[in-house]
Structure 1
Amino acid sequence: MTSSDGVRSYGGRPVADRRAERRERFRAAGLELFGTLGFAQVTISALCAEAGLSRRQFYEEYSGSEELLTEIYDRIQATARERVTAAALTTAHADLHDVARAAMNAYLDAVATDPRYVRCLFVEAGGVSEKMEAHRVAGRDDWARYVTAAIATLPTTTCTPSEYRATAFVGALVSVVHRWATADERPDRAYIVDLLSDLLLELARSHSDGEPKPYGSEHT
């Protein structure tokens, strides 16, 4: 039914609110099952049972489990960027090393404190399909652009790194955090934060000639 103000409702609650709650329950179910059992081992029926919802309700929201995994992946990435941004802004007037440490601490808080996040982000999102792989690569490139733009705003930065340099940092960031978060024996978190901060500072302080020329352009 539709209320007097034009908002669709069901059982006295706006339909949009009910759908948002439903999607949140499916995301929670997906995070739990994908993050513990693995994407390939999880059926739609298992997701519905975990969420306490029906298959009909699932397919009203998602085309399949891959779309749900993509949404979970995007949520983790967005939260990480939001926290890194907030941390950097909070320490914007501090020493550059403190800014880098705050940013790397915020990233670890967002992605590495829950093993389910680590698995969904660094393991399960890879190799699902060509579409998901393209999405994952696009996400990596988004991070490279984000890092490049963030460094350009630092008052003590003398240059803007190319996106290829930023991509190299993102690759190192992901590899280090994944290894540390999944290792049986691992160094203290402070060591990882310092390591990543040093890499970020090197990127911020390195001199760059800008974006590289296309391959072969030097011969044209």
Structure 2
Amino acid sequence: MNKRFYRGMSAEERLAERRERLISAAYTLYADVGFPETTIEKLCTLARISNRAFYECFSGRNELLQAVHDRCVRETLLSVSNSLEQAPDTPAGRIEAGIAGYIGFVTEDRRRARIMHLEVRRAGDCLTRSRQQALAAFTRIVETNVSDLPEATKANPHLLTVGVIGAIQELLIEWVLVDDPPEIDQLISTAVHIFHRSFLT
């Protein structure tokens, strides 16, 4: 069956290109104006597409936010994995490299930090599953890399990992919201301190 082409692109390519423009627009608007205040009209204006074209790509703002959030998570997981591959082969080395890789990459672009840690919460229940999947993915990375740490606490290791990840998320929310954000090195050193105090004392 022959494909129909317009301006040198097939229908599938045009759809993919529009999706990318909407994801790019959402990445900016959800992090700048905020998810609740971002209308489909604003998204379409920035992406330079019609409202009709929007609904050919996404069912609504929630699905678009999920696509943006999921991409941020995938890219962050890749960054953390790369940091761990280059880390010293010691528990402390892996811990520090993983935390630095996570915080460093997330804060590299303030929009990424805001979407991953603030706007997904403001979106409500529609992003609950995506948030849970992201938490599970990061939890697996931590548990894999601390499996050989000496047992230093009677707390449930899995729950402890979830708690430490939650603390790091709150540090990043603080970084996003305050007028005078702390230096990234301070965020990393604080997160490392929390991790060591949780698992090694």
Partners of 1:9 and 1:75 in 2: CA distance: 30
Shift of 1:166: 0.9
Partner of 2:28: 32
Measured at CA, do residues 181 and 100 of structure 1 come closer, stay the same or move farther in structure 2, by a change above 3 Å? farther
Measured at CA, do residues 202 and 20 of structure 1 come closer, stay the same or move farther in structure 2, by a change above 3 Å? farther
Greater share of residues in helix = 2
Partners of 1:141 and 1:188 in 2: CA distance: 28
RCO higher in structure (CA 8 A, sep ≥6):
2
Match of 1:49 among 45, 48, 56: 45
TM-score, L = length of structure 1: 0.77
Partners of 2:181 and 2:9 in 1: CA distance: 49
Q: CA RMSD in A?
A: 2.5
Partners of 2:142 and 2:198 in 1: CA distance: 10
Query: CA deviation digits over 1:58-106, x for unaligned, max 9?
Result: 111100011101111111111111101110111143x543332322222
Measured at CA, do residues 187 and 55 of structure 1 come closer, stay the same or move farther in structure 2, by a change above 3 Å? closer
Match of 1:77 among 62, 73, 77: 73
Count of matched residue pairs: 197
Question: Structure 1: which 5+ residue stretches go unaligned?
Answer: 3-7, 207-220
Identity value in percent? 23
Q: Does 1:157 align with 2:149?
A: yes
Question: Structure 2: which 5+ residue stretches go unaligned?
Answer: none
TM-score, L = length of structure 2: 0.84
Match of 2:123 among 117, 124, 128: 128
Measured at CA, do residues 31 and 130 of structure 1 come closer, stay the same or move farther in structure 2, by a change above 3 Å? same
Partners of 1:58 and 1:150 in 2: CA distance: 42
Measured at CA, do residues 193 and 129 of structure 1 come closer, stay the same or move farther in structure 2, by a change above 3 Å? closer
